[in-house]
Amino acid sequence: MMLDWLQSHKDLTGVVMGTAFGMIARIFMLRSDYRQYPAYPHGKIIHLALGLIAGALGAVAVPALYNKDYTAITFLALAAQQFREVRNMERSTLTAIDNLELVPRGAAYIEGIAVVFEGRNYLAIFTAFLSSLCVMLVGWWAGLIAGGVSLFLAHQFMRGKKITHIADVEMVPLKLDGPNLFVGDIYLMNVGLDENREIIREQGLGFILTPKNDDAKVTIANMGQRQAILHDISTRLGVYRDDGEPALLPVGKLGLRTGKLGLLVLPREKDVDKAYAAVCNVPLLEAAVRMPTEANRKSTEAKHSG
C-alpha cells in the first residue's frame, strides 16, 4: 500500500527524498576536526540550514522542469549567488580570526577553506537533483540508489591531496652554528639571544620536504602552502611562543639550489611521531598548485604544430 502510494505520488516523493539526501550529504561533509572550524554549535547550524536549502532547491527543480516550469532555472541561479555569498562570509570570518592566531593560516589557506564551503553546497544540490530525477524517471527505489551513489561521489570529492603527494617528508636535526640556525643544510635564520637558542634546542623540530618533481618544487615554494604547513602543525601540537617573540616563530625556508623546503617548528607538545604525521597530513592547497612543466610542454607542442 505504502509502496503504491510512493509510486503514484512521484512529485512529492522526489522532493522529499531529494531534500533528505541533499541534507544528508551536507551533514556528511560537515566536520569539525583539529581546526575546530566551523565552530559548534552555531557555525554548524548556519551550514546545516544552508544544506537544507540547497537540498530543497535541487529536489524541487526536477518536478518543476518536468512540468515545464522553466522558472526553476532562475531559482537555481539565485541559489548560486547566495552560495557565493557563503564563500565571502567564510573568507571574512576567517580573515578576522586569523589576526588573532599565533601562527596565522595565511590568505591562500583561507581562500581554500572558503571555496570548499561554497563547493559543498553545490554537491548537496547535485545529490538532491540526481535523487529526485531518478524518482521522477523510474521510481522511489531508483532515487534511493541514486542518492547512495551521490553520497559516495561526494565523499570522493572531499578527499583532497596531502603534501605527501608532491614531496617526501624527512625529519632532520636542527643545527646552531653560533647564532645561525640550520635545518639540515638549509639556513633558516639568525637567533641572537641565548635564551631563544636554548628554547630552540629543547623544543625545536626540523623537517625537510623534498619535492618529487619540478612542478612540486614550484608548489612547495609557494608562500601560502608554506604558511599552511606551519599553521596546521601549530594547531595540532600547539606552539611554544607568545605574541611579540619573532625569534620563536615557526619558519619555512627554501634551499635555493635544491628546491627543498626546510621547516622549523616549535610544538608545545614535543611528540616526534605526531609532528611527523601532522606535516604529512597537511592539505595541498589548490591555490598553491603550479604545473609549469605541463604548460611549457604544451607551449612547445603548439609552437612545433604551428
Residues 152 and 179 in one domain: no
Residues 168 and 153 in one domain: no
Residue type for position 223? M
> For residue 264, is it within any domain?
yes
C-alpha cell at 59: 529536489
Question: What residue ranges of the chain have pLDDT lower than 50?
Answer: none
Cβ atoms of 204 and 174 within 8 Å: the answer is yes
Residues 278 and 150 in one domain: no
Residues recorded for the chain: 306
> For residue 14, is it within any domain?
yes
C-alpha cell at 300: 612547445
Domain that holds residue 269: 164-294
Residues 25 and 125 in one domain: yes
Residues 138 and 254 in one domain: no
Residues 144 and 8 in one domain: yes
Q: Rounded to the nearest 5°, which phi and psi values hold at 30? A: -100, 110
**Measuring CA to CA, which residue among 239, 248, 271, 131 is closest to residue 198?**
248
pLDDT in tens, 217-260: 888 888 999 999 999 888 888 888 877 777 788 889 998 888 89
Residues 148 and 214 in one domain: no
- Final residue of a structural domain among 159, 192, 214: 159
Count CB atoms within 10 A of the CB of residue 32.
13
The reported pLDDT for the residue numbered 208 is 93
3-state secondary structure of 163: helix
> For residue 141, is it within any domain?
yes
The reported pLDDT for the residue numbered 293 is 62
The reported pLDDT for the residue numbered 36 is 54
Q: What is the pTM (predicted TM-score) of this model?
A: 0.80
pLDDT in tens, 279-299: 998 888 887 777 766 555 555
> For residue 44, is it within any domain?
yes
Count CB atoms within 10 A of the CB of residue 147.
24
Residues 247 and 182 in one domain: yes
> For residue 271, is it within any domain?
yes
- Final residue of a structural domain among 127, 159, 191: 159
Number of domains the chain contains: 2
Residues 137 and 182 in one domain: no
> For residue 304, is it within any domain?
no
The reported pLDDT for the residue numbered 295 is 54
> For residue 71, is it within any domain?
yes
> What is the rounded CA–CA span in Å between residue 76 and residue 66?
15
The mean of the pLDDT values for the chain is: 82
The reported pLDDT for the residue numbered 152 is 87
Residues 145 and 198 in one domain: no
Name the maximum alpha-carbon separation found in the chain: 84
Residues 144 and 170 in one domain: no
- Final residue of a structural domain among 159, 183, 214: 159
> For residue 302, is it within any domain?
no
pLDDT in tens, 17-36: 888 998 988 888 877 555 55
Residues 106 and 21 in one domain: yes
